[in-house]
Structure 1
């Protein structure tokens, strides 16, 4: 029955929009391409991430930094998936951490040191696979390592080493296996952290 209303032509109807729910992530690989061991070419890493169905894949430097987009909301699941893919492809295990661009931006914003006044080599961030209790580091006599010092954040340790991490006795003390038991840890200098924030568009 015609009630006097006119049908709206299909082409004139309000279009339906697909909501893009993808998130930008950064993958941090631990201990690759150092001293000739655990070689992971960045081109192959990009290919692996693409094969896993991720988009906007890019890598940064040769030390195991990649950014990608995914519709998954579970960074830990993404990390486990990438670890499995790397082990299957290369034949060895590499610990991976996956963090959102928003998380990395929050790490930068929460930095307890005057990052803008420091060189990138003087400031490092060590990322942990899980939250760590400050008591884990209570046995370190921080005064003995001055001017080097550190602060803890959200699954991250900020290290200020004015002469660089290679000369830092504090960095050496913080890296002892006993202190890191039960968690994976991987460090990046501040230039890399800022670059990953920029690459993820956070």
Structure 2
């Protein structure tokens, strides 16, 4: 039976003292769903596992429902396989090897997004910050870090993300998820 390594990206947990999801409980929960090789990365909501059934969307829905049953609150989940995660790293439009990891972030989307979604953002006014779209992802270069990024604030507006789940990770985490999902 063929198996695939996946990373589950949980949105908005363990931030500011609310929506706590302890990683040991998350590992047990994913394992209890019948998945193997479960590991977590950091406290910000990444679980890596091997699945013999399902696709990204069904696995995300399964995990989201299990989290809500177990913890009592809804959590948006995006699941991506190793090939996709590696493709995101390989397709990076910025010179990732020359940047500090805090300067580069990837926002993963639950569905494809088009440039029209971001048309209201005046990218020239945000320079030297920049963003580029990828495959269900957005690459954000923020030379002063995400916490000081005006462009990140624009990109996080609800009307820009309407109808999709979006969750961001710094470049260190993006690369680490590729390593953790290798067979």
Q: Would the TM-score normalized by the shorter structure come out above 0.5?
A: yes
- Name the structure 2 match of 1:150: 131
The answer to whether the 8 A contact 1:24-1:200 is kept is yes
Give distance in 2, aligned partners of 1:37 and 1:135: 34
Give distance in 1, aligned partners of 2:39 and 2:134: 27
Deviations 1:95-137 (A, max 9, x none): 0000001100000000000001111100000000100121000
What are the equivalent positions in structure 2 for 1:42-53 lying under 5 Å apart? Answer: 42-53=23-34
What are the equivalent positions in structure 2 for 1:48-197 lying under 5 Å apart? Answer: 48-197=29-178
Q: What runs of 5+ residues in structure 1 fail to find an aligned partner?
A: 1-19
Give distance in 1, aligned partners of 2:158 and 2:40: 29
Larger Rg: 1
Alpha-carbon deviation of 1:73? 4.2
Give distance in 2, aligned partners of 1:181 and 1:196: 26
TM-score scaled by length of structure 1? 0.89
TM-score scaled by length of structure 2? 0.98
Alpha-carbon deviation of 1:163? 0.5
Other structure's SS at 2:97 match: helix
Other structure's SS at 1:125 match: strand
The answer to whether the 8 A contact 1:23-1:73 is kept is no
Following TM superposition, where does structure 1 have runs of at least 4 consecutive aligned residues deviating by more than 2 angstroms?
Answer: none
Give distance in 2, aligned partners of 1:48 and 1:29: 13
- Name the structure 1 match of 2:182: 201
